[in-house]
Amino acid sequence: MENPTGKLSLVFRKKASGKSYLAKQYYKLPLQIMPPHYQDKDGTVFAYMLNPSGGILQHDRLLTEITMDEGSRALVTTPASTKIYKMDDGFAVLENKIEMREGSILEYLPESNVPFAGSKTYQNTEVHLDKGATLISFDMVTPGRVSRGEVFQYDIYEAKTKIYVDGKLIAYDSARIEPEKMDLTAPGMIECRGANGTIYIYRDKMGGETIDAVRAFGRTAQPKDGAKFEAEREGDAGYVKFGATMVMDSLMVVRLISEHTWALENTMLRIWDIIRRSLLGKPAVRIRKY
């Protein structure tokens, strides 16, 4: 991206002690980074990306770069959802570039994007991995400000994800939602359910144990008809449908849709816990936010 209006560049490295740290950082507002901290015992560094302006505005061109040096471990997230404001005469571009060296582990878990009515957003994510790296990545989008009755009132929301391993493209995922031009209830769409999310998991020769565990969670958590997963919060029920697929023996993709954003987020975190235990040998932690 040429001449971004906001930029965040992070480089994570591993110390001789095995502890990872944020070795280099650069930011240009409205993107920023909070001081890293540690919640795991294995030296994984936790970092929070910020947008102190409050959200995404028309004509924003925001670039985020994350580099994982050899053997480093990091969890990168956001403290809250990203608000995308109404755009009268322009659009916003969000570009994410991730590079991962041999033996590095990145858990990239941003909160959901919330496109307000009249917004136009184009998100592009590129991940370049060495074969021996490990990636767990979230991507979530809501239907808008539901509490204000803004359900699919945005103009365009487009998200593209490309994943390369040793320079070879192994996955290209492209989704474009234009509510006024699409029948969101049609087969193959999102059944007009509000929130949708995707989890990308890469690890060389992952095997079938991880996806078996995710699918087993789906079978045990769903009602007898096997159609929906029920999550409870404060006495309310939210339903999530999801499916997990091995694109290849090193790449798994989990797709989810739900009428409720909180139910989607809770389910993704529970699946993250399963993936973490299976691939990294440790449970999920409660990430400190809000």
Q: Is 217 left (phi over 0), alpha (psi -120 to 50) or beta?
A: alpha
C-beta of residue 25 within 8 angstroms of C-beta of residue 82: no
Structure tokens at 257: 């849709």
Tell whether 287 is covered by a domain. Answer: no
> Is 64 domain-assigned?
yes
Quick one: average pLDDT of 151-180? Answer: 95
User: What is the model's pLDDT at position 227?
Assistant: 39
The model's confidence at residue 187, banded by pLDDT at 50, 70 and 90, is low
Predicted confidence at residue 27, as pLDDT, reads 95
DSSP state of 280: I
> Has residue 1 been placed in a domain?
no
Distance CA 251, CA 271 (A): 15
Q: What is the percentage of the chain residues whose pLDDT exceeds 90?
A: 73
Backbone angles phi, psi at 215, to 5 degrees: -65, -35
Contact 154, 178 (CB under 8 A): no
Q: Establish if 94 belongs to a structural domain.
A: yes
Encode pLDDT of 10-36 as tens digits.
999 999 999 999 999 999 999 999 999
Can you tell me the mean pLDDT for 162-166?
98
pLDDT digits (tens, 9 = 90+) for 246-265: 999 999 999 998 888 888 89
Mean pLDDT of the chain: 90
Q: Residue 134: phi, psi to the nearest 5?
A: -130, 130
Q: Which two tokens stand for residue 80?
A: 């809250």
**Is residue 121 included in any domain, yes or no?**
yes
- 270 pLDDT tier (thresholds 50, 70, 90): very high
Task: State the greatest distance between any 2 C-alpha atoms of the chain, in Å, as a whole number.
Answer: 55
Quote the pLDDT of residue 233.
40
What is the SS3 assignment for 202? strand
Instruction: Please report whether residue 286 resides in a domain.
Output: no
Per-residue pLDDT at 222: 53
- Rounded distance, CA 197 to CA 109, Å? 11
> Given a cut of 60, is residue 79 above it in pLDDT?
yes
Residue 254 within any structural domain of the chain: yes
- The count of domains in the chain is 1
pLDDT band at residue 203 under the 50/70/90 scheme: very high
Mean per-residue pLDDT, 213-235: 57
> What distances in angstroms separate CA 15 from CA 20, 24, 32, 72, one per listed residue?
6, 14, 24, 8
Write out the residue range of the structural domain in which residue 110 sits. 6-280
159 within some domain: yes
The pTM (predicted TM-score) of the whole model is: 0.92
**Lowest-confidence pick of 75-89, 188-202, 224-238:** 224-238
Cβ–Cβ under 8 Å, residues 137 and 108: yes
Tokens standing for 104?
Answer: 């590095």
